[in-house]
C-alpha cells in the first residue's frame, strides 16, 4: 500500500536540492504540487494521494515516478514485471468532453509508470501510451473534468465498446463513438445532460482508445 507520508518525505528531498540553507516543510510540498495547504493536510491525514499533481510534478522535474512510489528504477521494473508503461505526457493538451480542444503537438515528457498507479485499466496490449487531460463535464461520472486519461493509439476500432479520443475539424474530443447505419459518426457523452453529436465520417479520425485514468482532486 502506498503511504502519502513516505511520498511527501521523498518530495521534500527533491525540493531541498533547490532550497539550500533552509528546511523544507509540508507547506512547501503543497505549494510545489499547487494544492491548498488545508486540502493537503486533509489528504495527508486520510492518506489520499494526489496522483495527478504528483505526475505533473515528476514530469516537470524529470523524476522517475516508479522511484517515487515504489523505490524502483526503470531497469529494475522491467526486469521484474511486464506491467509497466512508457507514457508520453502532454501536459498542455486537453481532450474536450464538451466542445473543441487542442490537437497533439511535440511538446511532451516521457515517463514510466507501473500499472498500480493507473485506475480502471482495460484491454491492455500496447505498453506505449499517451496521457492528456479531460476538459469539461460531459463524460462524468465516468471521467471527471481535469482528470488525466491514458490513450492507446493502437486501438482505433470503434466497433468495440469503450471511450475514444477523436480528432475532428473543430478539435479533439473524448467520447463514446458509434457509426450509424447511414454512415454518420455519433459522439456520445456519459453525462445524460449532453445530447449525442453527429459528425460526417470524413471530418473525424480516431486517435486511440482510453485505457486508464487518474482522477483529479
Cell readout for 186 is: 455519433
- Does the pLDDT of residue 112 top 80, yes or no? no
Higher pLDDT: 186 or 92? It is 186
Q: Is residue 126 in some structural domain?
A: yes
The CATH number of whichever domain residue 147 belongs to comes to: 2.10.109.10
**Which residue, among 82, 212, 207, has the nearest Cα to 148 in the 3D structure?**
212
Q: pLDDT tens digits for 14-55?
A: 898 887 778 899 999 999 999 999 999 999 999 988 888 888
Q: Are residues 31 and 125 in the same domain?
A: no
Bridge partners (DSSP) of residue 119 are: 213
pLDDT band, very low/low/confident/very high, at 210 (cuts 50, 70, 90): very high
CB 87 within 8 A of CB 110: yes
Q: Range of 150's domain?
A: 65-214
Mean pLDDT of 4-18: 89
Name the residue with cell 505526475.
55
Q: What is the 3-state secondary structure (H, E, C) of 131-144?
A: EEEEECCCCCCCCC
Q: Residue 119 — pLDDT band, cuts 50, 70, 90?
A: low
Mean pLDDT estimate for the chain: 81
How far apart CA 77 and CA 114 sit, in angstroms, is 8
91 with 41, same domain? no
Q: Is residue 56 included in any domain, yes or no? A: no
The three cell numbers of residue 155 are: 486501438
pLDDT, position 98: 56
φ, ψ at 86 (rounded to 5°): -85, 120
For the whole prediction, is pTM greater than 0.85? no
Per-residue pLDDT band for 126 (boundaries 50, 70, 90) equals low
Q: Are residues 104 and 200 in the same domain?
A: yes
Domain assignment of residue 55, yes or no: no
Verify that 119 and 69 share a domain, yes or no.
Answer: yes
Amino acid at each position: 500500500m502506498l503511504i502519502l507520508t513516505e511520498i511527501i518525505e521523498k518530495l521534500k528531498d527533491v525540493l531541498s536540492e533547490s532550497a539550500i540553507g533552509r528546511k523544507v516543510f509540508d507547506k512547501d510540498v503543497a505549494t510545489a504540487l499547487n494544492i491548498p495547504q488545508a486540502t493537503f493536510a486533509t489528504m495527508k491525514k486520510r492518506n489520499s494521494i494526489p496522483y495527478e499533481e504528483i505526475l505533473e510534478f515528476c514530469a516537470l522535474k524529470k523524476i522517475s515516478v516508479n522511484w517515487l512510489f515504489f523505490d524502483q528504477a526503470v531497469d529494475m521494473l522491467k526486469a521484474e514485471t511486464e506491467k509497466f508503461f512508457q507514457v508520453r505526457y502532454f501536459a498542455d493538451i486537453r481532450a474536450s468532453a464538451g466542445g473543441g480542444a487542442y490537437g497533439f503537438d511535440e511538446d511532451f515528457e516521457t515517463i514510466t509508470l507501473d500499472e498500480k498507479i493507473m485506475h480502471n485499466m482495460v484491454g491492455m496490449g500496447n505498453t506505449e501510451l499517451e496521457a492528456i487531460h479531460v476538459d469539461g463535464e460531459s463524460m462524468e461520472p465516468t471521467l471527471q473534468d481535469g482528470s488525466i486519461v491514458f490513450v492507446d493509439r493502437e486501438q482505433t476500432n470503434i466497433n468495440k465498446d469503450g471511450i475514444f479520443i477523436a480528432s475532428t475539424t473543430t478539435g479533439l474530443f473524448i467520447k463514446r463513438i458509434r457509426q450509424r447505419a447511414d454512415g454518420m459518426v455519433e459522439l456520445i457523452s456519459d453525462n445524460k445532460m449532453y445530447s449525442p453529436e453527429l459528425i460526417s465520417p470524413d471530418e473525424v479520425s480516431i486517435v486511440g482508445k482510453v485505457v486508464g485514468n487518474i482522477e483529479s482532486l
